[in-house]
Amino acid sequence: MKKIVLIVLLLIFSTYSISFADSLNLSGEGAILIDADTGQILFEKNSHMKLHPASTTKIMTGILALELGNMKDIVTVDEEIVKLTAGSHIALEPGEQLKFEDLLKALLIESANDSALAIAKHISGSIDGFAKLMNDKAKELGALNTNFVNPNGLSEENHLTTAYDLSLIAKYAMKNDAFREIVSNHTYTIPKTNKKEEERYLKSANKLLYSNQKIDVDGKIVPIKYEGINGVKTGYTSLAQNCLVASAQRQNQNLIAVVLKSNGREVYSDIHKLLNYGFENFKKINIAIKDQFVDNIEIKEGMNPIAAGIIKEDLPASIPKNSLDKIDKKIFIQDDIEAPIEKGQVLGKVEYYLQGQLLGQVDVISTLDIEKIPPVSIFQLILSKWYILLIGLFFLYRVMVIVKRKKSRRRRRSLYKVPSSFH
């Protein structure tokens, strides 16, 4: 629980919205565009509205398959899997044996519902047990408005998520090399099995990867295929309507767009509009640079009274083009910093703002170790007050001289004094 709370807090304080578009005229009821590296929200529409995710659910199923499964395992299909299968499938048969890796690719490329069930049972032993794992992982990622009931996305009353939650899940998934490799491909061939004498040829429904069919995007007729697309997942049920999570990369920009409950091919137009908005209006830069000097910071009771404060690490951000000189920063240094301190110790932070919206923050750290001034010994104290000692010795000498002179005068008087018997 502590881990989940920490991750949620990090998400709250590291995910910032900097949208500057009022509307993109989207068909989908829920939508969001984020920077896949920083988590910044570049645009959103009803992003926290709970909706049915359809087969975009399989992004989470794929995450758990990669993290908990063994690609070399041989999975045996049972009758329950076949009985529960509806919608898209690869015609698995009871007793059929397939490599776990082939089931995973059927899940993410062909969007096979029977593969989802087979993966779930292989990992957890039951569909309900796997759904619990899905929900635990969702909470861990900060997807707090998500509830999964099954691993394939077939619509059920309580099987719900949001565009925002799906963006978090997809952001996490796309950092996994194996996941990213699978969803960037739109075809795959499953070899013959003990139950199938022919190979299975898979093809993705994500037409952003390959299709030359035309769509209308803001009055322009363009192919569905989108430059830079590298994933991730489509979804459709009659209740969820058309859903799509898309990832795209151009130069140093990595964007994730999510659209839920759109109409037909308009889901592709929506994705185009979102990604176009991101690539055309934003650029990725480091608004803070590692080791950049911030300020000289006072260190109390230190052998060195000053430490140079520098930026701990680069802070990348997606900002509107031509707005770099409009970024404001606020420097916060801790009060009453006392030695000892260590090199790299956090002494404060810098926050960066654009038009009053927080872009991000970065720590300010010390460039060196500073030891505490050691306690002063009596001997050191005396030495530090040498002038007082000198004056004291001088006065002592004068006293001794005066005393000596007095004694000498008494002695002389006693020698010259006439005895009374001589009178």
Is the pLDDT at 55 greater than 50? The verdict is yes
**Contact between residue 98 and residue 124 where contact means Cβ atoms under 8 Å apart:** no
Residue 255 token pair: 């964007």
Per-residue pLDDT at 378: 66
Per-residue pLDDT at 418: 52
**240 pLDDT band (50/70/90 cuts)?**
very high
Per-residue pLDDT at 92: 97
Contacts of 316 (CB under 8 A, 6+ apart): 37, 38, 284, 285, 286, 287
Is the pLDDT at 1 greater than 60? The verdict is no
Residue % of the chain over a pLDDT of 90: 82
Of the ranges 200-209, 214-223, 371-380, which one carries the lowest mean pLDDT score? Answer: 371-380
Is the pLDDT at 197 greater than 50? The verdict is yes
Full-model pTM: 0.83
Per-residue pLDDT at 18: 61
H-helix segments, 69-162: 79-84, 100-105, 113-124, 127-140
**Greatest mean pLDDT among 100-104, 301-305, 323-327:** 100-104
Per-residue pLDDT at 154: 96
Is the pLDDT at 420 greater than 60? The verdict is no
How far is residue 411 from each of residues 11, 177, 404, 406, 419, measured CA to CA in Å?
96, 107, 11, 9, 16
Per-residue pLDDT at 399: 80
Report the chain's mean pLDDT, rounded to a whole number. 91
**250 pLDDT band (50/70/90 cuts)?**
very high
Kindly report, residue by residue over 353-412, the tens digit of the pLDDT: 998 999 999 999 999 999 999 886 666 656 666 667 677 777 788 788 887 777 777 777
